[in-house]
């Protein structure tokens, strides 16, 4: 009995998954890019990402002594 009740739920979920996969495929292109990205542009982009990720961590680590000298907050 359990397998009979469970079967429609499985087919409904598989239909939904197939529909989602078909929608996802519409944004995939098999052609080569129209404009090639050069090494200078790649290095610039990676540098911007690195600075964006590491600058806040560097700021916090640079100011750790200041944070340690602060008095604890009053409750």
Give the global pTM: 0.47
**Which pLDDT score, from 0 to 100, does residue 34 have?**
82
CA distance 1 to 24: 36
Mean pLDDT by 10 residues, the chain (75 residues): 57 66 64 88 97 96 94 85
What is the pLDDT, as a whole number, of residue 41?
A: 96
Alpha carbon 25 to its chain centroid, in Å, reads 19
Integer-rounded Cα Rg, in Å, for the chain is: 27
Per-residue confidence (pLDDT) for residue 11, from 0 to 100: 67
What is the structure's pLDDT at 48? 98
Distances (CA, A) of 72 to 10, 27, 63, 65: 56, 53, 16, 14
């Amino acid at each position: 009995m359990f397998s009979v009740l469970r079967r429609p739920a499985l087919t409904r979920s598989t239909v939904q998954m197939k529909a989602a996969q078909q929608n996802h495929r519409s944004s995939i292109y098999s052609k080569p890019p129209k404009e090639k990205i050069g090494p200078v542009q790649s290095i610039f982009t990676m540098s911007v990402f690195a600075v964006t990720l590491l600058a806040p961590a560097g700021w916090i680590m640079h100011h750790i002594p200041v944070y340690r000298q602060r008095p604890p907050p009053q409750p």
